């Protein structure tokens, strides 16, 4: 089936965050806490919490950390009120960028994100300026090994409702509609599969290919955005090989 060239971006994020586990776990913990506040502490009745837990597990966040975060969030009636905010803009050479954040101070975060864009040759745009170039999809990435049969995996994935499965070299990439993401993930987990990453992501409809020098300028911007404490996800249509 057709590939979506998503793995290169995920691989970059994984390699980067492996060296920053503490910061990554803090961001994942914030996501779990917001899910608990929105729908309660029982993952059986809270789909958003189930997805946040799956994302944390895929990032190798220890189970005790996950449970501690859930209990803490459930017990904190006066917990910080985080707001979900999405920013859109362009990086160098017209590369489209979407930034998803959780913030307790919308004005501060907007100012910070605008400053990062401008300092690295980009510009923050209005809502909707680049979102039309992306499709929101569930993305599940499974690392290849000798125990995984491609045909069996394809059968399980499609049976569970996946839209697409592709061979991306050292991994298999499974794409779902956002509404089917949880069902597909849970079906594959029960079948014995584990994930390099499991998340709802913004997948570009088309990619911008740049040379190494131009790409490095865009990557400097993306890395600064990802380093910001309030930023949860950064999506781009830059094609990285």
Is the CATH code 3.10.129.10 the one for domain 7-75? no
pLDDT over 50 (residue 20): yes
Average pLDDT over residues 176-199: 92
Would you list the domain boundaries of the chain? 7-75, 83-131+207-236, 133-204
Q: Which has the higher per-residue pLDDT, 42 or 7?
A: 42
Which residue from 167, 213, 162 is spatially nearest to 188, judged by alpha carbons? 162
pTM of the full structure = 0.84
Mode of pairing for the β-strands spanning 134-143 and 171-176: antiparallel
Location of structure tokens 């060296």? 19
Which secondary-structure segment (H or E) carries 223?
helix 212-227
Q: Which has the higher per-residue pLDDT, 21 or 127?
A: 127
Q: Are 135 and 203 in contact (CB under 8 A)?
A: yes
pLDDT at 3: 38
Residue 71 to residue 168: CA distance in whole angstroms: 38
Q: Are 32 and 66 in contact (CB under 8 A)?
A: yes
Is the CATH code 3.40.50.880 the one for domain 83-131+207-236? no
Q: What angle do CA 29, 135, 150 make, to 5 degrees?
A: 80
Q: Cβ neighbours of residue 201 under 8 Å, at least 6 residues apart?
A: 6, 136, 137, 138, 139, 233, 235
pLDDT over 70 (residue 9): no
CATH superfamily of 133-204: YebC, transcriptional regulation domain (3.30.70.980)
> What pLDDT, in 10s, does the model give residues 218-238?
999 999 999 999 999 999 999
pLDDT at 153: 94
Average pLDDT over residues 209-223: 91
Average pLDDT over residues 81-90: 92
pLDDT over 50 (residue 4): no
**Identical fold, 83-131+207-236 and 133-204:** yes
Q: Label residue 71 by pLDDT band (50, 70, 90).
A: confident
């Amino acid at each position: 089936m057709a590939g979506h060239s998503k793995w290169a971006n995920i691989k970059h994020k994984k390699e980067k965050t492996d060296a920053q586990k503490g910061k990554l776990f803090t961001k994942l913990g914030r996501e779990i806490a917001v899910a608990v506040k929105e729908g309660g502490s029982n993952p059986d009745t809270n789909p958003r919490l189930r997805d946040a837990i799956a994302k944390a597990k895929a990032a190798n966040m220890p189970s005790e950390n996950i449970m501690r975060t859930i209990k803490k969030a459930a017990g904190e009636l006066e917990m910080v009120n985080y707001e979900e905010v999405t920013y859109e803009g362009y990086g160098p050479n017209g590369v489209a960028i979407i930034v998803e954040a959780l913030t307790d101070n919308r004005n501060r975060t907007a100012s910070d994100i605008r400053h990062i864009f401008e300092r690295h040759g980009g510009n923050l745009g209005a809502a909707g300026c680049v979102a039309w170039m992306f499709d929101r999809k569930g993305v599940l990435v499974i690392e290849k090994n000798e125990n995984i049969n491609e045909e069996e995996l394809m059968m399980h994935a499609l049976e569970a409702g996946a839209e697409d499965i592709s061979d991306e070299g050292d991994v298999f990439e499974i794409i779902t509609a956002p509404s089917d993401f949880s069902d597909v993930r849970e079906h594959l987990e029960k079948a014995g599969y584990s994930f390099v990453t499991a998340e709802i992501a913004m997948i570009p409809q088309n990619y911008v290919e740049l040379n190494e020098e131009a790409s490095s300028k865009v990557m400097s911007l993306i890395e600064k955005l990802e380093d910001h404490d309030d930023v949860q996800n950064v999506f781009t249509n830059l094609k990285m090989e």
